[in-house]
Amino acid sequence: MHEDVDGPAGATTGEQPVGSAVRDGHDGPGTGSGPEPAAGVPHRPAASPLAFEQGTGGHHARVLEALGTAIAAGDHRPGSVLRTDELEERFQVSRTVIREAIRVLESMRLVVSRRRVGVTVCPTQEWNVYDPRVIRWRLAGRDRPRQLRSLTVLRSAVEPVAARLAAHHATPAQCAELTEHAMGMVATSRGQQLDAYLVHDMAFHRVVLAASGNEMFAPLGDVVAAVLTGRTHHHVMFTDPDPAAVTLHVQVAEAVRTGDADRAESLTREITHGAMAELDVLAP
């Protein structure tokens, strides 16, 4: 931890429109903070991008969140140059803090640093759009409806196939996990328990993708989790999840457990098609 890191920055959410709804959407838990190093303790090496985001927060997280959100929203156009001295002045932080934030943004390919040029914002086509943080920042911007549709199309293409494969390859332990989380979704689907529902919903979809046995599908669990979290955060959902969608998850778990690949695929396709249909109404 660097000596100029302090407590965590706050988070804000918008107002919830009346009657808005999308299946499976939920909000996730926040991050904590840790103590500053004692005087005389040597500095540790700079953190990795993952540790950077999950660490103590403070100035580093605040700068990263502000720059990432602004770039994703188009406030800094592709090709525009960010000057470190101006960023230091704007955020009232040291050059070390700015460099750490820029390094994380570079790992996402949102920016590139060149000598005698500075920090340049990359074209959207070069961004790592599968990074959950980039997804979260894009969902916070003006282009949210298109981003939600793009992500839901991705889910529609991948998850039904993953469910079919899971019916062939899921282990007994994975079948038990699916059933557990489907039942957890049922138990938390009423009474505005969206945070608790989210835990089971995200876990359910992660298990389906992992149980497919396809190593390219499993990492997409983070993408799906970011979508589910973002939809609740931005209030594109019902106060309680759609009962029909909850039932479909239970039926998918049963189809996977019994090895019914056709049914597992068909039911999962119903889930993703239903989510897209609701977006047409709630995020046109």
3-state secondary structure 148-213: HHHHHHHHHHHHHHHHHHHHHHCCHHHHHHHHHHHHHHHHCCCCCCHHHHHHHHHHHHHHHHHHCC
pLDDT of residue 48: 39
Helix H or strand E segment including 43:
none
Please give the residue that has the higher pLDDT: either 30 or 60: 60
Beta-carbon count within 10 A of 28 CB: 17
The pLDDT of residue 57: 56
CB–CB of 167/264 below 8 Å? yes
When comparing pLDDT for 130 and 11, which is higher?
Answer: 130
Of 71 and 10, the one with more pLDDT: 71
Q: Specify the range with the lowest mean pLDDT, choosing from 137-146, 176-185, 196-205.
A: 137-146
pTM: 0.74
Predicted pLDDT of residue 278: 79
Q: Mind listing the pLDDT tens digit for each residue in 134-175?
A: 999 999 988 888 888 999 999 999 999 999 999 999 999 999
